[in-house]
Amino acid sequence: MTDLTYWTSVESPLGPLLLTARHDATLTSLSVPGQKGGRTVQDGWRNDPGPFRSAAEQLAAYFAGELKEFRLPLRSHGTDFRERVWAALDSVPYGATTTYGEIAARVGASRMAVRAVGGAIGANPLLIVRPCHRVIGADGSLTGYAGGLERKVRLLALEGSLQEPSRASV
């Protein structure tokens, strides 16, 4: 059955991660608990950790600070605009950050389209492996993250692109 969705849960420092994949182990989503727009297990999905072995290993290595680039087959569905924005996210390297305006420029969108870029980034179905956490405000502020700002801070700190903020600044 080729349209069957497989799922598993993987423990992480950010809480349990819900992963979904196609029959061929192509990762289709990665969600965190309480994520805005995140996926939840649906009737008819098959709970099977088998298709996720490589993803689980790579996520463990990433959280251990041993992996800087995921090498996983990914598949997401979005409008042409969202797909262009997501492809731009894929090009932001580990340990670096970029801005919404810079992403807009990369996809050929006008400065007026920064909100649309933010919406596309917020709709990213593949948190962590497609690094939307690396996008910050033009003034360096840590703007929204569908997985929650605390998780964004933890991911950026893990990658060395942000020092853990002091309690006074949180």
- Catalytic residue list: 132
* Nearest residue to 55 (alpha-carbon basis) of 78, 30, 79: 30
Q: What's the token pair of residue 5?
A: 């969705």
- C-alpha to C-alpha distances, 145 to 8, 22, 35, 73, 139, nearest whole angstrom: 23, 26, 9, 23, 16
Best CA proximity match to 159, nearest among 64, 95, 103: 95
AA letter at 40: T
The secondary structure of residue 111, as a DSSP letter, is G
